[in-house]
Amino acid sequence: MDSNTSPSWLAFSLSNITNLPLFDAIRAVDHHDHQTNGGDLPKLEDFLSVGSAAPSLFEADSDLKTLAASFMYSSSMPTTALTVTTNELSPLDITAPANIAMAVDSSGKKSVDTFGQRTSIYRGVTRHRWTGRYEAHLWDNSCRREGQSRKGRQGGYDKEDKAARAYDLAALKYWGPTTTTNFSVSDYEKEIEEMKHMSRQEFVASLRRKSSGFSRGASIYRGVTRHHQHGRWQARIGRVAGNKDLYLGTFSTEEEAAEAYDIAAIKFRGLNAVTNFDMSRYDVKSIASSNLPIGGINKSKPSSNDKSNISTLDHHNKALNRNQSDELYLSSIPFQTPQPSSSSSSSSSSTTLNFALPIKPDPSSDTTTTNWYLFNNDTKINNVATLFQYGHNGLANFQPSLSHFNMDYNNNNGTTIPFVAPITVSGNSYERSSYGNWVSASTHSHQSAKPNISVFQTPIFGME
């Protein structure tokens, strides 16, 4: 909550991190060093790459030119700050495919004499020449056309079989359950279900995101480092727009910092950004539309508040509106003046607010009650009132692009204030409620004063 010092657009962060997914947590480094030791379990390629480097072996693989998506997997992050217990080769993984053989020869193309150079026993997987990392390749030109998922772009997983699985998933998405996969299709039931809701590009993008690599640092999260003096976590993103490092703030938890990085990454790199958390956590659209002065970031600290930016108060507002408190205001939402008082709006009646929150709907939830809390700037948590959303049921109403929600605001006085807000909401109350992780809105609706709404969220981390 003390991370109230981030760039304005970061304001859009909403850490629903509570359910820190299983996020293959360990994007850490693997401690095997294939380059120097023939030690553990030599791999096929170790034998193949005799002499100097193995590089050229794949150079000829021009087929890869058509790759639209690729995932890299590594097994040789050289250093090792974090030695991860590598037991990733769980029994499960070893269920290596019976179709290996076929995988090998079915890739066609390559002439027989190059077979021996295959760098992985898995279909769709190749081992990167220098690095020893693994890439899963999926060829699809349409993808490329749409400018999505081109080759490379992210580090790799640490294990060959992971690359193989990535390939499998992509292939399943593209060619259906009958396609040849490395592992049994039954391994992917869950994923297959998930992919149904995504376009190929989306799915592939998500796969890419899940690939690992990186993190040679203190944090397992990308873009996060621990600061020397107070052990706080600093988030940065390098040389974006401008060519300077962009400092994203310091946070007390890695996750918050990681999220800050993610948002920045999305902001600058869009859908292709490689993020720490699943992209679904963020509302890319909103992040993109925030008025971040791309190319120049408010180098100047968002001094107290850049009310200036706010001027253009179209629905999407940003501008960090810090408040004397130490609460984290994620987004400040200057909005339409309250109702022209048509009726009795004086003190506490009815106000129409317009604001947007870059929160992505949680597709897994079908609840229609969102925990929107309205606060009074002065009293904060005391004046909590829950907003009940009505008139909407189910997922259809949670489309990110969609915008208007009608809500009733039940204030403490029992008064109900109709509330209209173009927002996208996360409706997953179950996970939030248990952690007190709520999206909240704070308002300044005093007498005549123009309401000033800020959105912030209650502390998530550090509170058990």
Partner DNA sequence: CATTGTGTTGAA
Partner DNA sequence: TCAACACAATGG
Q: Residue 165 Cβ, how far from DNA at the closest point, in Å? A: 17
Among 150, 285, 404, 444, binds DNA (CB under 7 A): 150
Report d(CA 383, CA 374) in Å as an integer: 7
Looking only at the bridges linking them, the beta strands covering 156-157 and 67-73 are parallel
**Could you say which residues in the range 204-243 bind DNA, by CB under 7 A?**
213-219, 222-230, 232, 234, 236-240
Q: Does 285 bind DNA (CB under 7 A)?
A: no
Among 5, 19, 291, 411, binds DNA (CB under 7 A): 5
Q: Residue 70 Cβ, how far from DNA at the closest point, in Å? A: 6
Among 77-85, 92-100, 163-171, 310-318, the segment contacting DNA (CB under 7 A): 77-85
- CB nearer DNA, residue 74 or residue 321: 74
User: Residue 104 burial by CB count (10 A; 0-12/13-18/19+): exposed, middle or buried?
Assistant: middle
Report d(CA 207, CA 224) in Å as an integer: 22
CB atoms within 10 A of CB 140: 21
Q: How far is CA 324 from the centre of its chain?
A: 30
Q: Residue 215 Cβ, how far from DNA at the closest point, in Å? A: 4
Q: Does 244 bind DNA (CB under 7 A)?
A: yes
Among 153-161, 164-172, 386-394, 401-409, the segment contacting DNA (CB under 7 A): 153-161
- CB nearer DNA, residue 32 or residue 222: 222
Among 31, 127, 153, 200, binds DNA (CB under 7 A): 153
The set of residues, in sequence order, having a beta carbon less than 8 Å from that of 240 and lying 6+ positions away, is: 246, 264, 268, 269
Looking at residue 205, its amino acid is A
Q: Residue 73 Cβ, how far from DNA at the closest point, in Å? A: 9
Q: Residue 322 Cβ, how far from DNA at the closest point, in Å? A: 10
Contact pattern for DNA over residues 363 through 382, marking x by CB under 7 A: --------------------
- CB nearer DNA, residue 223 or residue 459: 223
Q: Does 124 bind DNA (CB under 7 A)?
A: no
Among 197, 301, 307, 450, binds DNA (CB under 7 A): 301
- CB nearer DNA, residue 156 or residue 358: 156
Q: Residue 152 Cβ, how far from DNA at the closest point, in Å? A: 1
DSSP per residue, 190-244: HHHHHHTTS-HHHHHHHHHHH------SSSSSTTEEE-TTT--EEEEEEEETTTE
Instruction: Categorise residue 68: left if φ over 0, alpha if ψ from -120 to 50, beta otherwise.
Output: alpha
- CB nearer DNA, residue 73 or residue 405: 73
The answer to whether 7 and 298 are in contact (CB under 8 A) is yes
Report d(CA 273, CA 259) in Å as an integer: 13
Among 32, 118, 123, 133, binds DNA (CB under 7 A): 133
Q: Residue 298 Cβ, how far from DNA at the closest point, in Å? A: 9
Tokens of 462: 């550090």
Element housing 420 (H / E): strand 416-422
**Could you say which residues in the range 401-430 bind DNA, by CB under 7 A?**
none
- CB nearer DNA, residue 298 or residue 348: 298
Q: Residue 135 Cβ, how far from DNA at the closest point, in Å? A: 8
Closest CA to 128 of 119, 138, 137, 139: 119
Tokens of 164: 């193989």
Q: Residue 378 Cβ, how far from DNA at the closest point, in Å? A: 24
Q: Does 317 bind DNA (CB under 7 A)?
A: no
Closest CA to 10 of 353, 423, 332, 361: 332
Q: Does 247 bind DNA (CB under 7 A)?
A: yes
The sign of the torsion formed by the CA atoms of 394, 396, 398, 402 equals negative
Report d(CA 464, CA 461) in Å as an integer: 8
Element housing 260 (H / E): helix 254-269
State the DSSP code for 342.
S
Looking at residue 416, its amino acid is T
Among 90-98, 129-137, 138-146, 308-316, the segment contacting DNA (CB under 7 A): 129-137
Among 1, 11, 17, 72, binds DNA (CB under 7 A): 72
Report d(CA 93, CA 97) in Å as an integer: 9
**Could you say which residues in the range 154-193 bind DNA, by CB under 7 A?**
154-156
Among 75, 120, 250, 321, binds DNA (CB under 7 A): 250
Among 152-160, 330-338, 344-352, 396-404, the segment contacting DNA (CB under 7 A): 152-160
Number of residues engaging DNA in binding (CB under 7 A): 52
Q: What is the dihedral of CA 296, 14, 315, 8, to 10 degrees?
A: -30
State the DSSP code for 11.
G
Residues near DNA (CB under 7 A) are 2, 5, 70, 72, 74, 77-79, 81, 130-131, 133, 150-156, 213-219, 222-230, 232, 234, 236-240, 244-245, 247, 249-250, 265, 269, 274, 299, 301
